Amino acid sequence: MKTTPIDKQTVDWYDQVCQHLDILCNAVQNVQNEPEIPPPVTLFKLVKDDIQNIRRLSGFPTIETPGVWLGPDGQIGLTFENDTDCLDLIFRSEKLVSRLTVGEMTTAIDKNDIPAALLRFSI
């Protein structure tokens, strides 16, 4: 799993996510000899567009910047966390898988329910 450092000068979490995605996109284009499958460049744009839409639908909440990561099979993931809960958004090709963990219980959530779930992480 690869992560990127956060630029603390950028205030908005969406801008920070976009910075992370741009860094990761450039990095995977330059490294093709790893055993992991890199996400296609088009997936990075799709993730930005989907996150922008989810952010809008949830009312532009103020939240901590999520972790941004790459999976070994070409996935791009975002993880929103607070003290007890966790929301994972996992993008692969045209498909988005999302799961919400509350305490020790994890459930898959529908794409239409993601904006409401995101509000759990408002600060």
C-alpha closest to that of 89 among 38, 17, 7: 17
Contact 87, 118 (CB under 8 A): yes
| CA distance to 7, 31, 65, 90, per residue, from 68 (Å) | 13, 18, 9, 10
Listed in sequence order, the residues at least 6 apart from 22 whose beta carbon sits closer than 8 Å to its beta carbon are 44
**How much is the pTM?**
0.83
Pairing of strands 67-70, 95-102: unpaired
User: Per-residue confidence of the chain (123 residues) as pLDDT tens digits?
Assistant: 444 444 444 358 999 999 999 999 998 877 766 677 889 999 999 999 999 999 999 999 889 999 999 998 889 999 999 988 999 999 998 789 999 999 889 999 999 999 999 998 988
